[in-house]
Structure 1
Amino acid sequence: MAERFQGQSVLITGAASGLGAACARAFAAEGALLALVDLNGEKLAALRQQLPAKTSILFAGDVGQEETALQSVELAMKAFGRIDVLVNNAGIDPLDAGSIEDTSVALWDQVMGVNLRGAFLFAKNVLGPMKGQRRGSMVHTSSISGLRPTPEEAAYSVSKAGLIQLSRSLALDFGKYGIRSNCVCPGFLEAVMGDRASSLSQTDLVARSASATALVPLGREGRYSEITAAILFLASAESAYINGATLVIDGGMTLA
């Protein structure tokens, strides 16, 4: 396979596990230089052991804090001299989520802080380097919950809907600088989100997996490899005329 990202700098948030780690491995396999950001520094370090030597830098921090965005972008620029791709992937969906009535202000702020504020901060801070280069690609991990709200997950659904509009606003305002912005909206994936995984038993996880048969027209969960393939496509020159798009990758789940 041709290395589509040879020598390009790719910044990924929420990179330590799950879809973010899968993206890191996929970009690395195609020649990318990686700036990996996550709250969990130990998992980031473990991931780097799986990647080609001297191709990645790590930053452990809360993506919802402005200092994390500022410092990680500065670190990437110092190391690589450019930022070609931003993958805004960090996200949480706490188990104690609920309807608007049942959502505490603290939980609302927590979810918005990671899922939406974090994406805003990283997009805002990579714009300078990308405008200077007159090119760049941002891919944001939203969700089908941003298109069709999930019951009892109000904060998550609203944050992911906001992320779609953030992506579109970026596409509209900065396309003139050669900067593209697109979203992916995954559906039912092979593993539960990282912030939930530690709170679910193996029995819970097996039951969740089995439910995909009834919920998804294709009769199965989506694989990380299928989502990463879409993210890499949207980040690459192959999609040079795709800007402001929202790509649903859900096996037909939202058709039901």
Structure 2
Amino acid sequence: MSKVIVITGAGGILCSTMAKALAREGHKIAVLDLNVQAAEVVADEIRKEGGEAIGVAANVLDKAALETAKKKVNEILGNCDILINGAGGNHPLGTTSQPFLFEEDLKNTTEGFKTFFDLDPEGIKFVFNLNFIGTLLPTQIFAQDMVGRSGCSILNISSMNAFTPLTKIPAYSGAKAAVSNFTQWLAVHFSKVGIRVNALAPGFFLTEQNRTLLTNSDGSLTQRGQQIIDQTPMGRYGQPEDLISSTLFLCNDASSFITGVVIPIDGGFAAYSGV
């Protein structure tokens, strides 16, 4: 049965792949993104494959903008059946320069060098707002369509950082932990009105946001990139297509008794102790 699926951050690599896969299953896709041009590109690619999709401008931190986006979705596609909260990301101002603090770091005057004590509160706020508030606000707007209807659900995008925080990125790790916790809270809160709430927790996937952190200009791995591969039993980064099967399952009525779960998709990263 065809459903109306709203996906935020769908102009990006991971969520656009999910959008196209869901469209191939016959669902109507609202591609939401702050960059409306990117959203239109994805929607156009779906339409060229014979699917039904619209690109919609949406700032996940602006409730009025989300209400405008919802009105457009409702008018063109109908009521939202499934919401995928895919918008998120990190920011350099919430990232330390080194994984560990040493006393000599406090005397480091290199331009751009940041210890924990140098982290910018505005950068921290940006990361928390984008990931957590950027999940909460779209849910407030679009979940109103779902109350009391069957087959409706929400899929959040958390991270393996939510289970075990990575070095250097305290803001992102904390924000994604909040998303996982919020997923469980919403699953309980919405349980009496027929809305399931689950989340995916991707491990390491190469995207435009982290490419320069994990790979060099010649395509070789940085030191941090190699550390990740060495810690991943399957020995590779995730591919966008690796998210498809879990997405289809959690958006399908076959998972109708599953709510409040966060599914790791990490190539065994979390299971490996390093020895």
TM-score of the alignment, normalized to the shorter chain, above 0.5: yes
Which residue does 2:155 correspond to in 1?
139
**In the TM superposition, what is the alpha-carbon distance from 1:97 to its structure 2 partner?**
3.1
Aligned: 1:254 with 2:270: yes
Identity of aligned residues (%): 27
CA contact 1:94–1:196 (8 Å) conserved in 2: no
* Residue in structure 1 matching 2:84, options 59, 63, 87: 87
Aligned: 1:31 with 2:26: yes
Please state whether the residue corresponding to 2:132 is helix, strand or coil: helix
* Residue in structure 1 matching 2:39, options 16, 41, 44: 44
**In the TM superposition, what is the alpha-carbon distance from 1:108 to its structure 2 partner?**
1.3
Provide, for residues 23-54 of structure 1, a one-character-per-residue CA deviation record: whole Å limited to 9, x for no partner: 11101111111111111122222222211257
- Identify unmatched segments of 5+ residues in structure 2: 97-115
Provide the C-alpha distance between the structure 1 equivalents of 2:167 and 2:212, rounded to a whole number of angstroms: 22
Provide the C-alpha distance between the structure 2 equivalents of 1:183 and 1:50, rounded to a whole number of angstroms: 26
Provide the C-alpha distance between the structure 2 equivalents of 1:102 and 1:229, rounded to a whole number of angstroms: 41
**In the TM superposition, what is the alpha-carbon distance from 1:59 to its structure 2 partner?**
1.7
In structure 2, what residue type is equivalent to 1:136?
C
Which residue does 1:3 correspond to in 2?
none
Task: Single out whichever of 195-204 and 96-105 deviates more from structure 2.
Answer: 195-204
**In the TM superposition, what is the alpha-carbon distance from 1:212 to its structure 2 partner?**
4.2
Please state whether the residue corresponding to 1:247 is helix, strand or coil: strand
CA pair 241-54 structure 1, distance change in 2 beyond 3 A: closer
Provide, for residues 88-112 of structure 1, a one-character-per-residue CA deviation record: whole Å limited to 9, x for no partner: 0111112443255332121112112
Task: Single out whichever of 204-213 and 58-67 deviates more from structure 2.
Answer: 204-213
Which residue does 2:178 correspond to in 1?
162
CA contact 1:93–1:196 (8 Å) conserved in 2: no
Task: Single out whichever of 102-111 and 173-182 deviates more from structure 2.
Answer: 102-111
Aligned: 1:215 with 2:231: yes
- Identify unmatched segments of 5+ residues in structure 1: 1-5
Task: Single out whichever of 223-232 and 13-22 deviates more from structure 2.
Answer: 223-232
When normalised by structure 2's length, the TM-score is 0.83
**In the TM superposition, what is the alpha-carbon distance from 1:222 to its structure 2 partner?**
1.5
